[in-house]
A and B are shown apart, each in its own frame.
Chain A
Amino acid sequence: MAISERWATLTRERLLWMYDRMTLIREFEERLRQLVDAGMPVGAAHYYVGEEAVAVGVCAALEPMDWIASTHRGHGHCIAKGVDVRPMMAELFGKVTGSNRGKGGSMHITDVRVGMLGVNPILGMGTTHAVGAALSAKVRRTGQVAAAFFGDGASNIGAVHEAMNLAAIWKLPVVFVCENNGYAQSTPVEYAVAVQDIADRAAGYAMPGVVVDGQDVFAVWEATDAAVRRARAGTGPSLIECKTYRYYGHYHGDDPRRYRTAEEEEVARARDCIRRFREGALTRGLLGADDLDAIDARNRALLDEAIAFAEVSPLPDPAELCTDVYVTEPSE
């Protein structure tokens, strides 16, 4: 199945950026999987493999100054927004050079300098933080937009609905992005969600809700671009539901074969976002195989470097245990 015909609306640089980010996410996750398989204890790791087009399509429509709030499955969001993979990997290794100085791990990777407000494993809470960031943008008149990622599972938690209502009544510049990968851990979406399309829930908050093919980076980008324009114009929030699929289990160690079939996985993998992008670009002669191979090689090297950086980086000093508990230390 081909992806949508929107190639002409993007520059060659933008196309290369999309391919670069999607493949860097996949390289990061696959290399991390190898490390964990080899015994590297990285705590809970929720791989984003299969869903790359969502994070990259959304972030392609954002400016560097814009904010994103993430989920527990956040490595892809980080990389798409521009977080350096070296401190990300070092964080997973528990090193002091990590993005969070070794105090957060996979489920808390944050880099506010690039607008990444944090991987957040208490599901749905990130959407409320995006609303706050959007409120901040509105009060300070900065023109920033906040994108809030959440999953099909989190679409059922009250926080998401409270966030949507707040954003709607205050007409805040928020883009709600539902990554519907079909499963909340092992619970299928058709069991846990009363509506066919989560996008329908937008009607309850008087905002546009659209369903897009989450395996098509252009479809995600185009829907986000429209939502971002609306947000920046002061018209309020939007909801985009991206139908996507995670190739692996909920976390490293989860065997998805206990709750989904091999056939289903094969069908999903046949619509792989990276392969479809690559084939489409080559077929149309927009990008050359050498362009894309060079990106692949560069990202492999970047991961070699990130892993080496993580390996040689120092561990936190035990004294770090008690630092940064308070933002301002209590008076003596």
Chain B
Amino acid sequence: MTTAVRELTFSQAINEAIRQEMRRDPTIVIMGEDIAGGAGRAHLGFVDAWGGPLRVTRGLITEFGPERVLDTPIAEMGFVGAAVGAAMTGLRPIVEVLFVDLIGCCYDQIINQAAKMHYMMGGQLDLPLVIRIPYGARGATGQTYGGGAAAQHSQTLYSVLAHVPGLKVVAPTTAYNAKGLTMAAIRDDGPVVVMENKFLGLAAKGPVPEEPYTIPIGRAEVVRRGRDVTLCGIGRMTHVCLEAAALLAGEGTSAEVVDVLTLAPLDEATILESVARTKRLVVVDEDTPTASMARDIAARVADQGFDFLDAPVKTVTAPETPVPFAAVLEAHYVPRAANVVAAVHTLLGTGG
């Protein structure tokens, strides 16, 4: 007998991870701008108005109350710092930064305080802190006029977090792994950044077991087996890789897809093992190319897997520009399956 597995959205899956963990452990608190919404207006009937930009936290305040579900003022440096201090002194805070574009306002707290605290204090202190950060541009929407969220509300920026030793950075890609990685992040005794793609958050839906489970941080996953080329995706780009792999299959090219899942510390072994079999690699990243995860992965494979390769490593990334507003421009900003297929054609000397 099998029971039908529920389908949840990416956001609902993260909500469930947080909710189940908060039930289990009373030291978990969650804080951020409008993570409940309408704070202080309960007497007027306004409770839980917002639930964060992706509605991830909706319903938490009604179950756990305002002492553990804290709407914050617009003060990223202050409340991320407070989360660091709380993590140093017995709580396990989950903090939500509205969008990754705002990390400039709390970058010190993330890179100088949270990331380094354990090391520079000689290991005397744990820092069980989760920083959840929505990210991403829209890409092609079919919209022919108007625009999106533009240069300061659409960025990717995970490379500047993955760069800093001491931080773990994960980028879930499905409702299933969003729940498991979020739960693993909450249970980790150190700081973990969870990068939540805005468009997966609202659109990705899939089966999610009801019981609590974790997915190990630090492991990439082969999500499609193939022989001719490895497509390595980060976050939403894993779906672009899968789309490209389906197109390539129609041409008789067998593409393997690796979902990076954890940006830091990177699972080099899984990527290298895949490249050892396929002999070719395309890394797909919606970040801008300079000092990006895409080039970091390419460099690591060149450094440690050069003998496996039958062709140069290719990267498919956003262009070296800020994210544009106009929809017709933004459509060309985020890498698409066609760009990935073209990169594979170049490697194989075929098609196009």
Query: Which residues of A pack against B, CB within 8 Å?
Result: 67, 69, 98-104, 108, 110-112, 117-118, 120, 122, 125, 127-140, 142, 146, 158-159, 161-163, 165-166, 169-170, 323-328, 330-331
17 contacts between A and B (CB under 8 A): A98-B122, A103-B121, A104-B120, A104-B122, A111-B124, A122-B108, A129-B82, A129-B88, A136-B86, A136-B90, A139-B91, A159-B77, A323-B123, A325-B166, A327-B126, A327-B191, A330-B168
A169 to B216, CA, bound (A): 38
Q: What sequence of 0s and 1s flags, for each residue 124-159 of chain B, a beta carbon within 8 Å of any chain A beta carbon?
A: 111110000000000000000000000000000000
A154 to chain B, nearest CB (A): 13
Distance in angstroms between the alpha carbons of A167 and B237 in the assembled complex: 41
- Determine if B250 is an interface residue (Cβ-Cβ < 8 Å): no
The residue that B82 contacts in the complex, of A100, A104, A131, A325, with Cβ under 8 A, is A131
Interface string of B250-267 (1 = CB under 8 A from A): 000000000000100100
Chain B positions within 8 Å of A117 at CB level: 85, 88-89
Chain A residues whose C-beta falls within 8 Å of the C-beta of B121 in the assembled complex: 100, 103-104, 108, 110, 112, 118
Q: Which of B66-95 contact A (CB under 8 A)?
A: 67-68, 70, 72-73, 75, 77-91, 93
Whether B89 lies near A136 (C-beta < 8 A) is yes
CB–CB B218/A331 < 8 A: yes
A163 to B190, CA, bound (A): 23
Residues of A within 8 Å of B188, CB to CB, are 327-328
Nearest residue (CB) in B for A170 is B70
Question: Closest CB of chain B to A318's CB: distance in Å?
Answer: 15
The answer for the CA separation of A323 and B120 in the assembled complex, in Å, is: 11
Tell me, in angstroms, the Cα distance from A137 to B88 when the chains sit together: 11
Tell me whether A331 and B77 are in contact in the complex, defined as CB-CB below 8 angstroms, given that A129-B113, A326-B118 are known contacts. Answer: no
Report if B290 contacts A (CB, 8 A).
no
| Bound Cα distance A28, B88 (Å) | 27
From residue A202, how far is it (CB to closest CB) to chain B in Å? 16
The distance from the CB of B120 to the nearest CB of chain A, in whole angstroms, is: 5
In the complex, the answer to whether B189 meets A327 with C-beta atoms within 8 Å is yes
**Given A131-B78, A330-B217, A122 and B113 contact (CB-CB distance below 8 Å):** yes
A125 near B108: Cβ-Cβ < 8 Å: yes
With an 8 Å Cβ cutoff, the count of chain B residues facing the other chain is 53
Closest 3 CB pairs of A and B: A132-B85, A128-B81, A162-B78
Contacts of B123 in A (CB 8 A): 101, 323-324
Q: In the complex, A146 Cα to B287 Cα: how many Å?
A: 41
Can you name the residue of chain B whose Cβ is closest to the Cβ of A121?
Answer: B112
> In the complex, are the beta carbons of B82 and A132 less than 8 A apart?
yes
Question: Once bound together, how far apart are the Cα atoms of A169 and B39, in whole Å?
Answer: 12
Shortest CB-to-CB span from A294 to chain B, Å, is 33
Known contacts A129-B84, A133-B89, A139-B67, A103 near B124 by CB under 8 Å: no
**Given A125-B113, A159-B77, A330-B168, CB of A132 within 8 Å of CB of B119:** no
Q: How far does the Cβ of B114 sit from chain A's closest Cβ, in whole Å?
A: 10
Is B219's beta carbon under 8 Å from chain A?
Answer: yes
User: Is B81 touching A163 in the complex (CB atoms < 8 A)?
Assistant: yes
The complex places the Cα of A163 from the Cα of B72 at a distance, in Å, of 11
What is the bound-complex CA distance between A131 and B82, given in angstroms? 5
Q: Is the Cβ of B165 less than 8 Å from the Cβ of A129?
A: no
Fill in one digit per residue for B46-83: 1 if any A CB lies within 8 Å of its CB, else 0: 00000000000000000000011010110101111111
Task: Collect the chain B residues with CB atoms within 8 Å of residue A137's CB.
Answer: 89
Distance of A325 Cα from B166 Cα, bound (Å): 5
Whether B17 is near chain A, meaning CB under 8 Å from some CB there, is no
Q: Which of chain B's residues have a CB closer than 8 A to the CB of A127?
A: 81
Q: Which residues of A contact B87 (CB under 8 A)?
A: 132
A327 touches B127 (CB 8 A): yes
B77 contacts A102, C-beta separation under 8 Å: no
CB pair A108–B75 under 8 Å, yes or no, is no
Tell me, rounded to whole Å, the shortest Cβ–Cβ distance linking A284 to chain B.
40
A132 lies within 8 A of B84 (CB): yes
Q: Is B29 an interface residue (CB 8 A)?
A: yes
B317 within 8 A of A: no
Nearest B-chain residue to A133, judged by Cβ = B89
Give the Cβ gap from A234 to chain B, nearest Cβ, in Å. Answer: 12
Q: Which residues of A lie under 8 Å from residue B75 when comparing CB positions? A: 158, 162, 165-166
Beyond A112-B125, A132-B89, is A163–B82 a contact (Cβ under 8 Å)?
A: yes
Contact B120 A100 (CB under 8 A): yes
Chain A residue nearest to B93 (CB atoms) is: A132
Query: Is the CB–CB distance between A128 and B84 below 8 Å?
Result: yes
Q: Which of B86, B122, B191 contacts A103 (CB 8 A)?
A: B122
A301 to chain B, nearest CB (A): 27
Is A139 in contact with B29, judged by CB distance below 8 angstroms? yes
CB B269 to nearest CB in A, in angstroms, measures 9
A contact residues around B262 at 8 Å (CB): 330
- CB pair A166–B122 under 8 Å, yes or no, is no
Our pick among B73, B81, B189 for the contact of A159 (Cβ within 8 Å) is B81
- Residues of chain A contacted by B79 (CB below 8 angstroms): 128, 162, 166
Do B73 and A166 have beta carbons less than 8 Å apart? yes
Q: How far is the CA of A161 from the CA of B117 in the complex (A)?
A: 23
Which partner residue on chain B sits nearest A105 by CB separation? Answer: B120
B115 to chain A: closest residue by CB = A325
Closest CB in chain A relative to B131 CB, distance in Å:
13
Most buried by B among A130, A139, A165, A169: A139
Residues of B contacting A108 in the complex (Cβ-Cβ under 8 angstroms): 120-121
- Min CB distance B204 to A, Å, is 24
Q: For A120, A138, A325, which residue has the most chain B Cβ atoms within 10 angstroms?
A: A325
Q: B residues within 8 A CB of A132?
A: 81-89, 91, 93
- B182 interface contact, C-beta 8 A: no
B291 → A minimal CB distance (Å): 20
**CB-based contact B85/A326 at 8 Å:** no
Residues in B neighbouring A330, C-beta threshold 8 A = 168, 217-218, 262, 265
Cα distance A142–B128 in the bound complex, in angstroms: 19
Q: Across the interface, do B91 and A136 meet the contact criterion of CB distance under 8 Å?
A: yes
- Most chain B CB inside 10 Å of its own CB: which residue of A117, A130, A326: A326
Q: Which of B85, B166, B216, B219 contacts A135 (CB 8 A)?
A: B85
Contact of B78 among A69, A136, A165, A331 (CB under 8 A): A165
Report the separation of the CA atoms of residues A165 and B190 in the bound assembly, to the nearest whole angstrom: 27
Name the A residues within 8 Å of B127 (CB-CB): 327
